[in-house]
Copies of this chain bind each other. A is one copy, B any other.
Amino acid sequence: MLVIGESINASNRSVAEAIASRDREFLQSLARAQVAAGADFIDVNSGIGSGSPEYESTTMEWLVEVVQGATDKPLAIDSEIPSVIEAALRKYRGERLMINSVTAEPEKLESIGSLAAGHQAWLVALAMGTNGIPSSVEERLAACEQIMTHLTQLGLVAEQIFFDPLILPIAVDSTQAVVTLKTLEQIKSRYPAAKTVLGLSNISYGLPNRRLVNRAFLLMAAYAGLDAVILNPLDAKMMSFIKVADMLMGKEPSCRGYIRAHRKGILVD
């Protein structure tokens, strides 16, 4: 499973402070720590939309340069503002790139989809339209269909699209874990070449022992067909479960990756 390290996100206070004070060393350490812990992509989020787009664009350019100074891993440009994404693309020097994210809203699909098409970037597509996260499988799939149609017209291929089936907290509605997993399965069945991605932590919002719930949900999602996950790779127990999930799904001849992880001493029980 592809691991997208989520830590460089301006919604984390320490990251926001490091961005504001232009603390390269803090952010580069955070990038390196995520890579050392097994991240395949580094998510980069420069603002929570509270600054002006111009300010956020300048910040994103700086942030991309800083993080790429610390690691060769590809980045996931985390913004829904086309001008901020463009700023990142101007600065980015790497072959593989992810843009995170677009929804079924036509104007976003058009602008961000065109950027992804032009740069042959992978694109995270949230299974929702303008009215927030739908509560049913059918509504989420309808959003995916709109996304697939529009992005295909822009020249993207299914292999570039990472559908996020989205998660609503199970504490609010006890059917929501199954809704997400069934949506995920249906996406894999309808668009076999497309990929799937999830940020896990929303599932456990409002519950005690959240990490326990997140970890359990990851395993179910792995079996439902999850290809990539956005999380904190410094959570060693979660990363151990990802190694096990890959092994159980038959992705490794002779359990190679799992046994290697054991020998490195990074499997946490």
Whether B247 and A209, one on each chain, are in contact in the complex, defined by CB atoms closer than 8 angstroms, is no
Whether B267 and A208, one on each chain, are in contact in the complex, defined by CB atoms closer than 8 angstroms, is yes
Residues of B within 8 A of A216 (CB): 219, 241, 244-245, 248
Binary interface encoding of chain A residues 220-234 relative to chain B, with 1 for a CB under 8 A from any of its CBs, else 0: 101110000000000
Q: Chain B interface: which of A28-36, A190-198, A251-259?
A: A251-259
Kindly state whether residue A27 has any CB partner on chain B within 8 Å: no
Bound together, the chains give a CA A204 to CA B57 distance in angstroms of 50
Bound together, the chains give a CA A209 to CA B252 distance in angstroms of 17
Binary interface encoding of chain A residues 4-19 relative to chain B, with 1 for a CB under 8 A from any of its CBs, else 0: 0000000000000000
Question: Interface size class for chain A?
Answer: 35 or more
Whether B217 and A220, one on each chain, are in contact in the complex, defined by CB atoms closer than 8 angstroms, is no
A150-173 residues at the B interface, CB under 8 angstroms: 170-171
Kindly state whether residue A269 has any CB partner on chain B within 8 Å: yes
Bound together, the chains give a CA A220 to CA B226 distance in angstroms of 12
Bound together, the chains give a CA A258 to CA B170 distance in angstroms of 11
Whether A170 and B212, one on each chain, are in contact in the complex, defined by CB atoms closer than 8 angstroms, is no
Kindly state whether residue A20 has any CB partner on chain B within 8 Å: no
Which of B178, B240, B254 is the one whose CB lies under 8 Å from A174?
A: B254
Kindly state whether residue A91 has any CB partner on chain B within 8 Å: no
Residues of B within 8 A of A181 (CB): 223
Which of B220, B240, B244 is the one whose CB lies under 8 Å from A223?
A: B220
Residues of B within 8 A of A241 (CB): 212, 216
Q: In the complex, how many angstroms separate the beta carbon of A178 from the nearest chain B beta carbon?
A: 5
Q: In the complex, how many angstroms separate the beta carbon of A1 from the nearest chain B beta carbon?
A: 12
Bound together, the chains give a CA A44 to CA B51 distance in angstroms of 67
Q: With contacts A207-B255, A207-B259, A248-B177 known, is A212 near B240, CB below 8 A?
A: yes
Residues of B within 8 A of A177 (CB): 247-250
Residues of B within 8 A of A208 (CB): 259, 262, 267
Kindly state whether residue A189 has any CB partner on chain B within 8 Å: no
Question: Known contacts A217-B248, A219-B219, A219-B223; can you find 8 more A-B pairs with CB under 8 A?
Answer: A177-B249, A178-B248, A207-B259, A208-B267, A209-B262, A213-B244, A219-B220, A220-B220
Please provide the 5 A-B residue pairs with the shortest distance between their CB atoms, ordered closest to farther: A219-B219, A220-B223, A177-B248, A216-B244, A208-B262
